[in-house]
Amino acid sequence: MTDPSHPLPLTPPASLGWLPFFEEQREPHEADLAPMRIALVHRSRLSALSEAGPVALALPVHTNTGDFAVGDWVLVDPRTRMLHRRLDRRTVLERRVEGSRTLQPAAANVDTLFVVTSCNADFNQARLERYLALANQGGTNPVILLTKADMAADGDIYRRQAAELQRGLDVVTVNPRLPEAARILAPWCGVGRTVALVGSSGVGKSTLVNTLAGPGQARPQETGAIREHDAKGRHTTTARSLHAIAGGGWVIDTPGMRTLHVGGAEDGIARLFSEITELAPSCRFRDCTHAHEPGCAVQAAIADGTITPERLTRWRKLLDENHDNTPAPAGPRGRRGGG
Ligand SMILES: Nc1nc2c(ncn2[C@@H]2O[C@H](COP(=O)(O)OP(=O)(O)O)[C@@H](O)[C@H]2O)c(=O)[nH]1
Ligand SMILES: [Mg+2]
Ligand SMILES: [Zn+2]
């Protein structure tokens, strides 16, 4: 941590991903506040990275740390280290809080979301689609990372099945244990850029964080062999955190996002299933559900093999779940998209 008796520098650290988008949000009276990036979110504390290093922030009373995400930009009093305010996010990955419709930010200002899956029983198109919907919705570019291809009989099958999940989707095979993983992922990393990792437990996320951090670094993340549950079977409170990448840029591991419930992601789902969504205007009925109606362009695409029935089923299921998890907007209109 930085020496609390010294004022912190006011220069926004460009290497941390500071952009004109954030600069433009600073009001004239905020010129003597220091921009910093949230690096760690705990139940009762926040730490941030400044030009001078890590800073434990002083929080105003009634601050809810759950409103902040790793990757957020905040303005801080350089003398007292008191948090002043959070700047608007360029992108945000939000997950639904278990048992409620509330969305909680898990990572902010992420450029690329690496959706990690191994080439084994973990591979599941429906689950990958959830992560893609989340990335699309938050304005983040998704890339699928296939791990453990070295242990699979035929990695190409997984590659093909991943590539067909979204038009133009990048799919990369990578072994997180090898140093060359950093070179393979370099096109998405680099100075000022931020990537985040999501995926099931055991697919290699923490190993990848360590590899990206580079040799000679204290291993930032515990991997595989270490128990991920405490004696009661709950997840240990592994905090989400921001780690420097050796070749420049930042990586966020998101241990809280193993199971994913989609809510408020209608646009992200539409983009994910664009081959279905784009056909809808060609259906005879404007409100076609693509289930049983005559003159349905989507059913025609299924009949000629362009779209698989499984894909249509997954689209419908995700859309239904999203609807159930999305708070109805306030106002007399009621249901979202109605009228
Ligand atoms: N053989 C092989 N092992 C891997 C690969 N990726 C990860 N592992 C191993 O899988 C285990 C779980 O990795 P970990 O990073 O802890 O997964 P996490 O739960 O996603 O953070 C570790 O023992 C890794 O060394 C891979 O591509 N090939
Ligand atoms: Mg891990
Ligand atoms: Zn239709």
pLDDT tens per residue across span 179-193: 999 999 999 999 999
Whether residue 338 has pLDDT greater than 50: no
More confident site: 253 or 194: 194
Distance 118 CA to ligand 2 centre (A): 14
Q: Give me the pLDDT at residue 260, please.
A: 75
Q: What confidence tens digit (pLDDT) does each residue in 102-113 have? A: 888 989 999 999
Phi, psi of 330 (to 5 degrees): -65, 155
**Residue type, position 309, single letter:** P
Whether residue 226 has pLDDT greater than 80: no
| Structural domains of the chain, with CATH | 14-86 (2.40.50.140), 92-221+238-253 (3.40.50.300), 273-324 (1.10.40.50)
- Per-residue pLDDT averaged across 259-263, rounded? 78
Q: Give me the pLDDT at residue 42, please.
A: 86
Nearest-CA residue for ligand 1 atom 8 is: 204
Q: Which ligand is closest to the CA of 145, given by its number? A: 1
Ligand 1 pocket, residue 92 CB under 6 Å = no
Residue 314 neighbours by CB distance under 10 Å: 18
Q: Give me the pLDDT at residue 257, please.
A: 66
3-state secondary structure of 266: helix
Across-strand partners of 142?
Answer: 113
Distance 202 CA to ligand 2 centre (A): 7
Ligand 1 pocket, residue 175 CB under 6 Å = yes
Indicate the top mutation candidate among 119, 210, 223, 254 to test ligand 1's pocket, ranked by most ligand atoms within 8 A of CB. 223
Work out the burial of residue 304: count CB atoms within 10 Å of its CB; fewer than 13 is exposed, 13-18 middle, 19 or more buried.
Answer: exposed
Residue 61 neighbours by CB distance under 10 Å: 4
Q: Give me the pLDDT at residue 259, please.
A: 63
Q: Give me the pLDDT at residue 222, please.
A: 62
Q: Give me the pLDDT at residue 228, please.
A: 39
In angstroms, the Cα distances linking 167 to 119, 227, 250 are 21, 37, 27
Distance of alpha carbon 35 from its chain centroid, rounded? 23
Contact, 52 vs 9, CB < 8 A?
yes
Contact, 99 vs 54, CB < 8 A?
no
Indicate the top mutation candidate among 120, 207, 219, 241 to test ligand 1's pocket, ranked by most ligand atoms within 8 A of CB. 207
Whether residue 258 has pLDDT greater than 70: no
Q: Give me the pLDDT at residue 146, please.
A: 98
Ligand 1 pocket, residue 206 CB under 6 Å = yes
Which ligand 1 atom sits closest to the C-alpha of 207? 15
More confident site: 62 or 216: 62
Report the mean per-residue pLDDT for the chain: 87
Q: Give me the pLDDT at residue 330, please.
A: 62
Contact, 87 vs 259, CB < 8 A?
no
Residue 99 φ/ψ region, left for φ over 0, alpha for ψ in the -120 to 50 degree band, beta for the rest: left
- Per-residue pLDDT averaged across 198-213, rounded? 93
Confidence at 126, pLDDT banded by 50, 70, 90 = very high
- Per-residue pLDDT averaged across 140-157, rounded? 96
More confident site: 220 or 68: 68
CA–CA distance, 103 with 264 (Å, rounded to integer): 8
CA nearest 123: which of 83, 96, 156, 95? Answer: 156
Confidence at 256, pLDDT banded by 50, 70, 90 = low
Work out the burial of residue 163: count CB atoms within 10 Å of its CB; fewer than 13 is exposed, 13-18 middle, 19 or more buried.
Answer: middle
Distance 198 CA to ligand 2 centre (A): 10
**Residue type, position 171, single letter:** V
- R_g over Cα of the chain: 22
Which ligand 1 atom sits closest to the C-alpha of 224? 16
Residue with tokens 């520098």: 9
In angstroms, the Cα distances linking 157 to 118, 161, 175 are 12, 6, 17
Which ligand 1 atom sits closest to the C-alpha of 222? 16
Residue with tokens 């992108």: 91
Q: Give me the pLDDT at residue 240, please.
A: 67
Whether residue 217 has pLDDT greater than 70: no
